[in-house]
Amino acid sequence: MKEELVVRRIADGTVIDHIPAGRALRVLRLLGITGERDGIVALVMNVPSSKLGRKDIVKVEGRELSKEEVDKISLIAPTATINIIRNYEVVEKRKVELPSRVIGILRCMNPNCVTNVPRESVKPKFALLSRDPLRMVCEYCGEYLTEEEIIEQLSGV
């Protein structure tokens, strides 16, 4: 069954497609979308997908995403596709890409790391160490961040 039959098309905004099943709520949370003052937000979970088996989809009307938001999405939904919709047409489609470096988005788990010393105000910088499982390394102290820690930091409750 085509997904359009479940949730209608949107006029303008962003469709985040091919999200790993079960991650849609985390994507909404990292975008700060609560539904309290935004436009139409559609959430589709566990739809069949030829590529992923099952996938989630998030549709956000009236909003396009910043580079930082797309980078964050890539860290919790590396298979996602970002579709920009204008006047009901898909005008841009791109796969998210895991950044090789992340500056200022994640924090180091090592309490003694220079990035955790308030007076130093050093921005955390991480380099991508492994994609699957996702693992990043602090450029200052060498501490690893695991996939679970990254997901928790970006979309934890």
Residue ranges binding ligand CTP (CB under 6 A): 3-4, 9-10, 15, 17, 57, 59, 81, 83, 85, 88, 90, 93
Q: Which is nearer to Zn ion, 37 or 119 (CB)?
A: 119
Q: Select from Zn ion, ligand CTP, none the partner in contact with residue 108, using the beta carbon and a kind-dependent cut-off of 5 to 8 Å.
A: Zn ion
- String marking each residue 112-141 x if it binds Zn ion according to CB under 5 A: -x------------------------x-xx
CA distances from 142 to 29, 124, 145 (A): 29, 12, 10
59 interface partner picked from Zn ion, ligand CTP, none, CB below 5 to 8 A per type: ligand CTP
Rounded Cα distance, 130 and 120, in Å: 29
